[in-house]
Amino acid sequence: MRLSVCTFGLLAATGLLASPVFAQTVVFTPDPANLQLNPGEQATVHAQVCLPGQPAKADIYLLADTTTSMTPVLNQIKANAQQIVTTLLATPNVDIKVGCGQYRDFPFDIKPFDHQVSPVKNANTVVAAINTWFAGGGGDGSEAQFYALYNLATDPSIGFRPDAKRIIVWFGDSPGHDPICDFFVGGGVPTFEITEALTTAALQASGPNNGTTIIAIGSPTGYPTALDDDPTASAQDYSFFCTVGGTSGQATRLATATGGLYTQITDPAEITQSILDAVDSVLTAVDVSCTALGDITPFVTAIVPPIYEDVFLPSDPAKQVCVDFDVQLEGPPCGASQFLHEGKIEVQLNGTALDELPVTIAQPQCYVPVGLVLISVRRVDGVPFTGGDPDDLMWVGPGITLTVPFDQIPAFQIPSDVIFQGFSVFAQTVFNDPASFPSDPVKASPGLKVQLGVNNLGVNYGTGSGLDLKLGQPALLGGMFVLQSSLSP
């Protein structure tokens, strides 16, 4: 494991260099990663992930969806409220305060966001407020979390300490209305809309140590994907007042944008441990992983290591911890034409995407099949080729047979006599190459029906099994009959 703690050493200790406040950073090398690899050629993409140390102070705000469907989750939290709050306040090496509030929705709930307790050290005060929570209201499916989160980010009366890291532990089971329209924000007097983008920007700008971090926990009591579900699926209460909008994935995007995490529990009984584990992950130890996604995955031979588990963050916020990944790639087999494989390398923090690097691998053109070109004035109905798969069928009757590289198929002059107008010609290509393709040596194109004098590129028929076949240009009278065949991508 390559694990390095980066410090400013003596300069910082002597005060000659002010202690920095680090942000999460991911540096990919090379960037961009547009790779041209010959078959079997090796390449490595390096990723270094650096994470800031633990904050000296943190204000943790528990934000609950208290609409009707949340009953079993709220019952669990109330039953374990004393354990949750006292455990958070006892976090080692961090000066913690805890606050709480709840949200429901416009237009039928009198108080869509109820800020109850500013961050305090008195566990009993917070527990007493949690014990007032009861499930009710809400109306349609989507709720007013963006209203609550925006207010937490911007309202000074919430009472966050100016020098404390802000963490919102938000739990619910439904996506949020996007936007919260200006009619609601202004209490009947239009002011401005609260959107996901506005909420994200406000959270990122609020508080020290890179803004407010969102820990989102989805409950199974509402939508299938809880806070990440489709916000337009049940938003009818807004149709008279507001625009109905937004897209799936809200909680994941908010967590990613604020250096937090989104997790979804499968049983309401898991909520207490999920809250404590999530806060511990953000404050003291994290999992950092790396994965490859998309069309490049067949050419990734190794990711070293794939994950760092329980990376402990330095107790000093003026330090950071860095981990390194090497993604090893190998050039794809060459083909009859160049082909671009596109994907990405993604770094995840506690299972939530932290950053990504688009990667393109160019498959070189370095193989030209040599095989048979069949041209005839009649077709047959699928005769199997000897040694081929069931899809390797002959579609063209006896006629002209040529053995040539498929990039050197000769062109034929088409007579200009009108007697050939609409005359049908059939073509097919096939080859057998067990050396290059030991598991599938026989490849055949579909049949191609060409009508002379017709301004199109012919019509394929039947099945193909590894080859494409088309006209290079319309087979017009007095022109040329030009065939083009290549391996299928």
DSSP line for 300-322: EEEEESSEEEEEEPPSSTT-EEE
Residue 294 clears pLDDT 90, i.e. is over it = yes
Does any domain span residue 80?
A: yes
Separation of alpha carbons 382 and 129, rounded Å: 77
Q: Is the pLDDT score of 2 beyond 70? A: no
Alpha helices in 90-239 (DSSP H): 123-130, 145-154, 182-185, 196-205
Judgement on whether residues 359 and 473 belong to the same structural domain of the protein: no
Number of domains in the chain: 3
Determine the pLDDT at residue 333: 78
Whether residue 222 is found in the same domain as residue 328: no
- Among the residue ranges 86-100, 178-192, 368-382, 437-451, the one predicted with the least confidence is 178-192
Which of 323, 345, 363 lies at the terminal end of a domain, its last residue? 363
Q: Is the pLDDT of residue 367 over 80?
A: no
Residue 105: inside a domain, yes or no?
Answer: yes
| Closest alpha carbon to 38 in 260, 285, 299 | 299
Structural domain that includes position 292: 17-53+286-363
Confidence (pTM): 0.64
Same domain, 277 and 393: no
Measured CA to CA, the distance from residue 284 to residue 93 in angstroms comes to 9
- Within this chain, do residues 233 and 197 fall inside the same structural domain, yes or no? yes
Per-residue pLDDT reduced to its tens digit, 450-468: 999 999 999 999 999 889 9
258 and 304 belong to one structural domain? no
pLDDT digits 0-9 by tens, 17-64: 334 456 789 999 999 999 988 888 999 999 999 998 888 899 999 999
The rounded percent of the chain whose pLDDT value lies above 70 is 94
User: Do residues 198 and 129 share a domain?
Assistant: yes
The answer on pLDDT for 335 being more than 80 is no
What kind and span of H or E run contains 48?
strand 42-52
Q: Which of these three, 332, 363, 394, is where a domain ends?
A: 363
- What pLDDT is attached to residue 4? 38
The C-alpha atoms of residue 226 and residue 172 are separated, in whole angstroms, by 7
Final residue of a structural domain among 302, 335, 363: 363
Residue 266 has φ and ψ, to the nearest 5°, of -105, -10
Report yes or no: 396 and 372 within 8 Å, Cβ to Cβ.
Answer: no
Across the chain, mean pLDDT equals 89
Tell me if 415 sits within 8 A of 434, measured CB to CB. no
| 3 assigned to some structural domain | no
pLDDT for 228 beyond 90: yes
Q: What percentage of the chain exceeds 90 in pLDDT?
A: 68
Tell me the one-letter amino acid at 229: D
The upper half-sphere exposure of residue 354, i.e. CA atoms within 13 Å in the direction of its Cβ, equals 24
CATH of the domain at 97: 3.40.50.410
5: in domain: no
Contact 114, 102 (CB under 8 A): yes
For the cut 70, the answer to whether the pLDDT of residue 489 exceeds it is: no
Is residue 329 within 8 A of residue 299, CB to CB? The reply is: yes
Residue 7 covered by a domain: no
What kind and span of H or E run contains 283? helix 271-283
